[in-house]
Structure 1
Amino acid sequence: MHDSAEDVVSVRYFADDMQAAIDFYTTHLGFAVQLSSVPAFAALTRGRLRLVLSGAGSSGARAMPDGRVPQPGGWNRILLMTQDIDAEVERLQAAGLKFRGEIVTGVGGSQIVLDDPCGNPVELFQPTL
């Protein structure tokens, strides 16, 4: 059974190095390439999440009427669930990936934020059992 478009959650990130971003998500975080039009656009999927990457020449990266230009970074982020955050962090650090801080634990679980190659944040989250 295929999910309808309404069942898929789409998030747009801006990428100033499209191929590095595609490699990051597919190699380290389990995404698959759905569509690639490097350097302007790519759509990646992981379960019901569709990650739309917009690069140079993409319609999503056009300047706003006030002159602002969309760019990578910030703190809004996708959140990927994990069953073993310590092992996941160890695996990603061994691959040379950089985190914004250390694992923090609260009442809902443990989390850590890493950056993709363009500076977009990705949160890994392990819920409290």
Structure 2
Amino acid sequence: MTNDPSDMVSVRYMVDDVEAAVDFYTKHLGFTLRMSAAPAFADVARGNLRLLLSGPTSSAGRPMPDGEVPSPGGWNRIHLIVGDIAAEVDRLHAAGVTFRNDIVKGPGGQQILLTDPAGNVVELFQPAGEESRPRS
């Protein structure tokens, strides 16, 4: 992982609770904490993905000129590649993570959608041709 933010792909997610979001991404999805200014903001990373977690009191949470307030949720999502989607789903289900659907198989591979504590979507994806490792 690089430490230079200009070498990373950065995505901003609006969240309701920065500390809960940091816990979710570091505990369940393998991100590391780069910086925290909770309750307003935190910066976590996984490989070259920098995920900026912005709470309601962050500058990114300020109302737009038309009065609309940025909020979490929606269908845009980060896409994390996994080697064994079934095992990851089992592990995350056991940890109480909320899923929006079941595993979907398509020509490119298998995917499933889960949500972080604020309702932002994360996609786990196992590319076609990468067979799941046997579960023990």
How high is the TM-score relative to the length of structure 1?
0.96
Distance 1:52 1:104 in 2: 28
Q: Structure 1: which 5+ residue stretches go unaligned?
A: none
Partner of 2:62: 62
Q: Which amino acid aligns with 1:117?
A: P
Quick one: percent identity of the two aligned structures? Answer: 61
Distance 2:4 2:57 in 1: 28
1:36-55 matches, cutoff 5 A: 36-55=36-55
Partner of 1:25: 25
How high is the TM-score relative to the length of structure 2?
0.91
Change (3 A) 1:2 1:93: closer
Q: Structure 2: which 5+ residue stretches go unaligned?
A: 130-136
Distance 1:72 1:34 in 2: 21
Distance 1:6 1:57 in 2: 25
Change (3 A) 1:42 1:3: closer
Partner of 1:85: 85
Alignment root-mean-square deviation, CA: 1.3
Change (3 A) 1:2 1:13: closer
Distance 2:41 2:3 in 1: 22
Contact 2:5 2:50 in 1 (8 A): no
Contact 2:54 2:61 in 1 (8 A): yes
* Structure 2 residue matching 1:44: 3-state secondary structure: strand
Distance 1:5 1:24 in 2: 22
* Structure 2 residue matching 1:90: 3-state secondary structure: helix
1:96-118 C-alpha deviation (Å, 9 max, x unpaired):
11100100000000000000000
* Structure 2 residue matching 1:124: 3-state secondary structure: strand
List 4+ stretches of structure 1 deviating above 4 A. Answer: 1-4
Partner of 1:110: 110
